[in-house]
Chain A
Amino acid sequence: SQQGEEDPQALSIQEGENATMNCSYKTSINNLQWYRQNSGRGLVHLILIRSNEREKHSGRLRVTLDTSKKSSSLLITASRAADTASYFCATENSGYSTLTFGKGTMLLVSP
Chain B
Amino acid sequence: DAGVIQSPRHEVTEMGQEVTLRCKPISGHDYLFWYRQTMMRGLELLIYFNNNVPIDDSGMPEDRFSAKMPNASFSTLKIQPSEPRDSAVYFCASSPYRGRIGELFFGEGSRLTVL
Contact = CB atoms under 8 A, between A and B. Distances in A.
B contact residues, range: 20 to 34
Nearest to A101: B43
Interface residues of A, number: 21
Nearest to B105: A45
Interface in B76-112: 91, 93, 100-109
B100 A30 contact: yes
A99 B45 contact: yes
A98 interface: yes
B115 interface: no
Given A43-B91, A104-B42, A99 B106 contact: no
Nearest to A46: B103
A48 B107 CA distance: 19
Interface of A: 2, 30, 33, 35, 41-45, 48, 88, 90, 92, 97-104
